[in-house]
Structure 1
Amino acid sequence: MQQKLYLPILNKFEDLFDSKKDYDVIIKTGEGNNQKEIYAHSLVLRCQSNYFDTALSANWAEKENGKFIFRKPNVSQHVLEIIIRYLYCAKLDLSTQNGSDILKLLVAADEFGINVLSEYTQELLIKNFKDFLQSDPIGVLELVFQNEAFTTLKVCCLETICQEPEILFGTDKILALSEEILELLLKQDNLVLDEIEIWNSLIKWAHAQQPTVNKDPSKWSKDELALMERTLLKFISLVRFYDISSEEYYEKVMPYENLLPKKLRNEILKFYLVSSKQIKLPSRLSVLINTKHLALFASWIYKKDKILKKNPYKFNLIFRASRDGNTSADFHAKCDDKGATIIVAKIKGSNRIVGGYNPLDWNGYGDKSTPDSFIFTFENYNDIGTGKIGRVIRKSHAVRCFIDYGPLFGSYKSGSNDIMVNGNGKWSSVPNSYPNLNIPRNFEIDDYEVFQVIKEN
């Protein structure tokens, strides 16, 4: 009902802005040939913004022919018109704006001290950040990381790209990425992307920076090699080569091995030939397991006795307790609505790992039925030959989902499930729905991880 009272008044103010009747302020945006003018009324601007009240005061204002002249070359006409219209009639429609324009609006609103508009714009960005980032990833990334005040948005950027790397990686968009932002992304331990894809994208990016270099590395001259070495110097040490299979290394990395320092090449060779070789850079894949475990998990999921020659599944690390938090809320925030998952936990003070496979999901409430789940244990996580699997027996109680608990496998008996993680991160086990794998009754863990399991085409 009240809208009938104030909407006509706001509409009249909007008409005043559009008509430019009796304007006394000329706002000059842009520079040179791109300079544009916006006409406004000083009384409205000074009433709505302390910034404009000061800028248009007698002590600060510049006047020509009786009109205030306000110069703002760092703000586009488009963004400034959105702000001025908002000050006149409180109208704001950002549904048609791309991410970079909304960020520019946020920067300008913050500069003009329009706190309500600034807070609203930032909340909108955070709520729909993935959509805005996808609409203009390069523009959004550059604006966010150039502005020191965007701490929360920087976190959103990194989390979104790490969980949805296809926004950039594997596309031509990454070719326009700055050195600084690319370096920051490659430093992230939770980048959900096969390392070989990171390497392929890095090589593609380097060629885009040096378009005159031959695309065939076997035909590089000494000058071309030196140029590519300088281009990739700060990135080579960030590639987790130990997460690349020997076959992929041979096919995709070896043609470019002259870009790698000789010492690193020898370490990689030793890693492939001597399994006990220690990894210096934390794996993006896992701090608990390696590709051999994943190959075995794939065969168990596929219900095969032998390890498959080609892994038909992709395992994305979506949660690590030491990184993401060790409460039930932390687990569900990262793992709900992600579909099939593998849980892996290392028992404290031992080389033993335990875990389970949930082919469904972790959201919802209560028991979930499936014939395809299993739990497992490795007496020595360094030796996949010590792995034992226990496929579900009571299929109607395969997994349990409760928001106040972490992952739960099997039904409840004698104070625990077959594998139970309570809300405070305490682990326990009582055999019931699965075979007895001699998992300790109560135990502490060093860490645990959750992998999203995706069937590849």
Structure 2
Amino acid sequence: MVDNKLLPKLSQNFLEILEDEEYYDITIEVGNDPNVKIFRAHMVILNYRSSYLRRILSTNKKKNDGTLTCIKLPNISPEIFHIILRYIYSGKLFFEEYDIPYIIKILTTANELGLQELTPFIETLLIESQKDSIDQYFDLIYQLSFENNSFLELQKYCNDIISKEPNKIFNSPRFSSISEKLLVTIIQNDNLQMNEVQVWKHVVDWGLAQNPELSSDPKNWSKEDFNTLKNTLQQCIPFIRFHNLTSKEFSDSVLPYRKILSKELYENLLNDFLDNNYKPVKKSKPRIIEKRIDSKIITFQHTVLISKWIDRLEFTDNIKNLYEFKLLYRCGLNVRGRFHEICDNQPGTVIIVKLKGSNEILGGYNPIEWKNISKYSPTKDSFIFSFKNKDNIENHILSRINEEEKAIYNGNNGPSFGDTDLRIFYSEGNLNNFGIKCIKKSYEKPIIVEMHDIEEYEVFKIM
């Protein structure tokens, strides 16, 4: 049995064969003018290393008159082919030398040349070793994976990411350049963790980007303008789940574009949103997101972001642990005073607060247990947060603990964080004195100004 320690020498010898100017029997013209390069190689090696080149060589038999066989590869970059050819001979590739776009070019070329062992290797490399870098070029990788069904591992990986974090592609600066086929694939996904009105808005934005001559305000559009957008989005509209919108969402976000909908669809939707007793002819099924969390305040998207914060990740990072949010307690107008009874001695909880008469959400994460002892409890892992608008998770404030000794206050009312950084208060039997105080003292930054009335709050156990 040959020791693997001997293989580097074999690899080096094959590279020397490639670089030798005496024994080659084939030339390969790679690229297009003005970027063309001629490579010398050996038919026997190419024949056994590349299924694509084997097919080409089978139609270019070696001539008996001593003339060299010559093949052309005009659609391949000479720089990339140089790397691939050295790999064909040596079995070596040093990916740490290249950035993600360059690795993608190597991957597509390896696949085109039929290097069956290299293609899945690069896919695995991207998924397992380049996760941090992938985010920057996620839209490019996602589009690549769907343009070629050879990249099934990348396709599966990207599908999983998109389901959980659709903003990775919707908020990409290159979103408007993705293909119609890819956009349809995304919005068909039953597991897409995004409210339907946001899906619709992104689809409209994509359609407008394909037609830059259209103004952003449909009030000023002509019949031709509406027909232009209608034709652009004709493959996408059937996969928008309009029946899952609220009446207000339909009125605000769909009605202005009603002329791009078919007459049948528009009348069906109008009846659905105006008549509570109306049963639509064909009602779209809801996305799975709507059943994933028992909350009147937050959506699955909020839980994804809070899960990242628990793991000390940033907004744009890939999620590591998608925690389950199990509802322990919901406190509204008619249910007060049972927080400690239900939530004490439960480590790892998230508090979510809905402000009265506002679209803002506040909250906090307590990794340790709540106690009814009127004392502070220390921890370095707690944090508080706010969302300016519950429908836009990007507009948020995250504030981590500065003064660990005062991270959690175990008062006899509701949950409290810090000295007065986020403190819920009320008096027993007094329904009008139910509010929240937020004055920065123990945490990094203020999450809202001063004092507010509360509509309700929820407590979740993190599983």
TM-score normalised over the length of structure 1: 0.59
How big is each residue's C-alpha offset from its partner over 1:270-315, in whole Å with a ceiling of 9 and x where there is no partner? 444455655711112656599xx74x3x2xxxxxxxxxxxxxx443
* 1:187 positional shift: 0.9
Alpha-carbon distance in structure 1 between the residues aligned to 2:65 and 2:34: 21
Q: Is the CA contact (8 Å cut-off) linking 2:11 and 2:89 kept in structure 1? A: yes
Q: Is the CA contact (8 Å cut-off) linking 1:130 and 1:160 kept in structure 2? A: no
Going from structure 1 to structure 2, the CA distance change for 1:60 and 1:66 (only over 3 Å counts) comes to closer
* 1:111 positional shift: 5.1
Q: Structure 1: which 5+ residue stretches go unaligned? A: 299-312, 320-334, 343-355, 358-372, 377-383, 401-452
Q: Mean Cα displacement is larger for which, 58-67 or 148-157?
A: 58-67
How big is each residue's C-alpha offset from its partner over 1:71-122, in whole Å with a ceiling of 9 and x where there is no partner? 2233332332222111222221223545565455445435545333233223
Q: Is the CA contact (8 Å cut-off) linking 2:139 and 2:172 kept in structure 1? A: no
1:27 maps to 2:28: yes
Query: Hey, what does 2:77 align to over in structure 1?
Result: 76
Matching residue's letter, 2:286: S
Going from structure 1 to structure 2, the CA distance change for 1:242 and 1:64 (only over 3 Å counts) comes to farther
Alpha-carbon distance in structure 2 between the residues aligned to 1:245 and 1:385: 24
Question: How do residues 11-410 of structure 1 correspond to structure 2 at under 5 angstroms?
Answer: 11=12, 13-14=14-15, 17=18, 23-42=24-43, 44-46=45-47, 48=49, 56=57, 60-61=61-62, 66-97=67-98, 101-110=102-111, 112-127=113-128, 134-274=135-275, 280-284=283-287, 286=289, 288=291, 294=295, 296=296, 298=297, 313-316=298-301, 337-339=321-323, 341-342=324-325, 356-357=326-327, 373-374=328-329, 393=342, 395-397=344-346
Q: Structure 2: which 5+ residue stretches go unaligned? A: 305-318, 350-391, 397-463
Question: Secondary structure of 1:184's match?
Answer: helix
Question: Secondary structure of 1:10's match?
Answer: helix
What is the RMSD computed on CA atoms of the aligned residues? 4.4
How big is each residue's C-alpha offset from its partner over 1:168-206, in whole Å with a ceiling of 9 and x where there is no partner? 103331211111111111111111123232222212211
Aligned length: 336
Identity percentage of aligned residues: 26
How big is each residue's C-alpha offset from its partner over 1:16-66, in whole Å with a ceiling of 9 and x where there is no partner? 645756644321123344433223344654565576567557962479974
Matching residue's letter, 2:128: K
Alpha-carbon distance in structure 2 between the residues aligned to 1:165 and 1:196: 13
Q: Is the CA contact (8 Å cut-off) linking 1:24 and 1:40 kept in structure 2? A: yes
Q: Mean Cα displacement is larger for which, 164-173 or 9-18?
A: 9-18
Matching residue's letter, 1:283: P
Alpha-carbon distance in structure 1 between the residues aligned to 2:47 and 2:154: 30
Matching residue's letter, 2:183: L
Matching residue's letter, 2:203: L
Alpha-carbon distance in structure 1 between the residues aligned to 2:20 and 2:202: 52
Going from structure 1 to structure 2, the CA distance change for 1:63 and 1:134 (only over 3 Å counts) comes to farther
Alpha-carbon distance in structure 1 between the residues aligned to 2:136 and 2:105: 15
Question: Secondary structure of 1:186's match?
Answer: helix
TM-score normalised over the length of structure 2: 0.58
* 1:246 positional shift: 3.8
